[in-house]
Structure formats: structure tokens, C-alpha cells
Amino acid sequence: MEKKEKLLRLAADLDNDLETQDVQKLLPYFSEECEIEIFGHSLKGREGVEKWLKWFFGIFKTIKFEPIIIMVEENIFFEEFYITVSFENGETIRVKVAEVLTYENDKIRSLRLYLDRLEFVEASLKGFFSKSIVKMIKKKSVEGLF
């Protein structure tokens, strides 16, 4: 199997298994020395992966991925996608995320996730006052740009 096709399959399997929210099923996707980067912080090794997964699954009741753009170059997999998640209270949000996976020996050596925290927060907030504050921050952050 061509390397590009193999990485596409491995990443698709990862997405499908993330939707099941089974931590033990997901750990073998990652190398022992892997690193996850999210929100400017790094988690290292399988212990870091487990911590990230438990945190991630603890927030959402359901998770669904919808790919937008996928690119593979050598051992690097890039994907821009929508993630639709639901909470225990029935609320659902959909936000755009990007990820970069670096593979080594068919295992994830590095996972970097990029998303706009304000978009996520705005989508999950309730109440006029809270939403108004986030909208004001987002507006202020691009003032003079557009």
C-alpha cells in the first residue's frame, strides 16, 4: 500500500475511533514518545494522550468529524475539519478545527490541534451578557483589519 494511502487510512481510523470515545482503543495509535500540542500546551507520552482523551471525552456526550481539506506529504497528515459535539444537556455546537499529525512507524509521533477558542466559547455560551462579551472581544481583535 502506498504511504499516502496508508496515512489516509490510519487517520480515518483514528477519527472513527475518536467518535467511539474508547480511550483504550485509541492509545495504540500513538507512539510511546508522542507529543500532543493544544492551546499552546504540550502533553507527552501515552500518559499525556490518555490525559487529553479523558479530558476531551469528559466534556462531550457525542463527537462527529466532517473533513474539509486533507493533505498528506511524506509522514505528515494535515486536516481541516468541522467537529460537531453535543453536551449532556443536549446542546450541540459545530466549530472548525485543524490538525497536523506526524507519523513514525505507523504511529502518531506528534499531534497538533488548532482551533479558535473564542469560536468554541461563543458556540457553547448561553445568555445575552456572556455572548455579548465574547462578540465584543472577537470584534476588537480584528479592529482596523477589515
Q: Are 96 and 69 in contact (CB under 8 A)?
A: no
> What is the maximum span of the chain, computed from C-alpha positions, in angstroms?
54
The C-alpha atoms of residue 38 and residue 52 are separated, in whole angstroms, by 9
Tell whether 64 and 122 lie within a shared domain.
no
Domains identified in the chain, total number: 2
Boundaries of domain holding 144 = 117-146
Average pLDDT, the chain: 90
Over residues 14-58, the pLDDT tens digits come to 999 999 999 999 999 999 999 999 988 999 999 999 999 999 998
Residues 89-110: tens digit of each pLDDT: 888 889 899 999 999 999 999 9
Band of pLDDT at residue 146, cut at 50, 70 and 90: confident
95, 109: one domain:
yes
The 8-class DSSP code of residue 1 comes to: -
Q: Is the pLDDT of residue 87 over 70?
A: yes
Distance (Å, whole) CA 36 – CA 111 = 5
Q: Phi and psi dihedrals of 130, rounded to 5? A: -60, -45
- pLDDT(5) > 80: yes
Total length of the chain: 146
